[in-house]
Chains A and B, each alone.
Chain A
Amino acid sequence: MKFLAYIAVGVLLLLSNIARSVAAMDDGNAMATIALAAKQQNVTPAQPWVSTLRITDDDHAVISLADGERLMQRPKRASSYNDGDYDVSEFYTPDAVRLNMVLHYAGRKAGEIISIGIDSGYRAKKMTIRPALFIGYARSMQVGQAKYFTLVAGGWLGGRITHKACRDDYDRQYYCRSLTAWSDFRPRRHALEYYYQVVYTHKF
């Protein structure tokens, strides 16, 4: 029996590694834990609950993606090629408070959780993060005596980042944050995180 337990642990570790990243895996683990608990106790939480709520205003020093990953420090000043000093803070000051929230509620069956979230996005003069929507689903199923399969999946949709160029008096274009030439600016692609896990639990 102990041998079989080791095998089970190995398989489960392998499945867990499918998760896209540690952070996403943490989210997935949390949802799996809750779904499994609900199934084992055969309860369906009556009230929805919030796992994430971030409200950021224009004083916030960090610009993040919808999934919470840090994108950049909000730029304040930039040095030009000839060591000129420019105040670029206004180009990255958001024009609205940003709301980021993830809500969970129980499904019809015990052990079923449906998650939905929104990110209102980030709109500044020279950078925009489009609004994003989070959709998640978790379900724990009993497959035998003290044996459970839990399926968890979730991810953010949207949140595309776009940059606009700064222009000088000669209509030349620059990447505002560093004042490098716009022609030399290659924005890094940021994929929002998602997770999916299959967890097998055997209670000995």
Chain B
Amino acid sequence: MAARDDLHAAYAARFDLPAERGACIGCITQTVPLELVLAAGLRPVRLFPDPSRPPTRGDRYMEAEIDGEVRSLFDRMVAGAFAGLPLVLLPRMSEPHLQLHYYLAEVRTWEPEADIPPVQLVDIMQTAFWSTGRYVRARLVELADRLGGIGEPVTEDALRAAIHTVNRMRERLQALNALRRESRLKGSDLYRATALFGALSPGEFLSLTEALAADPGPKAGDAPRLMLSGCQQDDPSLYELIEAEGVHVAADDHVTGERVFAHLVDPAADPYDALAEHYQLHAPGLRQYPQKTLDDRFLAICRDARVDADLCVLNAGDDTLGWDWPGRRDRLREMGIPSRLLIAQDDFRPDRAAQTSALAALLQDAREGAA
């Protein structure tokens, strides 16, 4: 159990930034190109939202319709929680993240005393077009130049080495996911490990995940197997609620789940081409297009993970993922897998009773379907 304890301790310490931040690069989400940060000799530190604290100062400027993760990060930024970082990288994995870039620019004029570090949007677009790929590649080259000005100039050798390192980190998570599929690792623990991707140094991360793979904890047995889909989860509390009901989260499909590590960067290609293709086509984001590709992948995971049911949970501001659910529900039904939709979950005060109730109803659907 020591590995799990270490995992939980590392996750609990996720808000603690190093005292000396001059060589640290703040990373918003797990889709920051860590390879470039490492190749510049810098230390990525993930900046987490805090769903336990509803925003106060930031909500004077930012509408409640925007996702809780973004509102929380904006609030923490304005409050100076990330002061001292030489740069924060903000990938454009959704429209709210893009808006965060603009809101942070504007709030500096309203609160000039706020100690907000420089923020660079990483304008990764995700349409599957050649011109988009070239655009993304040019942005990554620009980013490498900027990071090189803070740390060391990014060389091809250093970048290839960083790609190798980050791929190893992804492979480690893939191995943990295989254990989860076999019910030998809890979904909540894989969530924690995934959240630490980009939060710990590569050495710490590889060490922690290696130990966890060797000692993943008690087997879940023959518990019902669930796919958790929908909006991103900002902490493992929903996983834990589901597990407390005796259900194993065998798979997930949201942007902070297993999609984070599902794809590796091609180590043999030109490194910038490889990175551009990876982040354009494979990094988890709400702007990936076409949707059919994502839906097909989701259904394949449901089949391969042998899930009994799908619970799709959406937050209160959702204007996006709700478009996917009816089609997915219908296709799952053809596979004999029931799906339920739970909407309007408050990012800071989720309705745990509604979640428990939806889960119970879904399990009943699954039992009736199996009977």
Q: Does A pair with B?
A: no
Give A residues with C-beta under 8 Å from B: none
- B residues adjacent to A (C-beta < 8 A): none
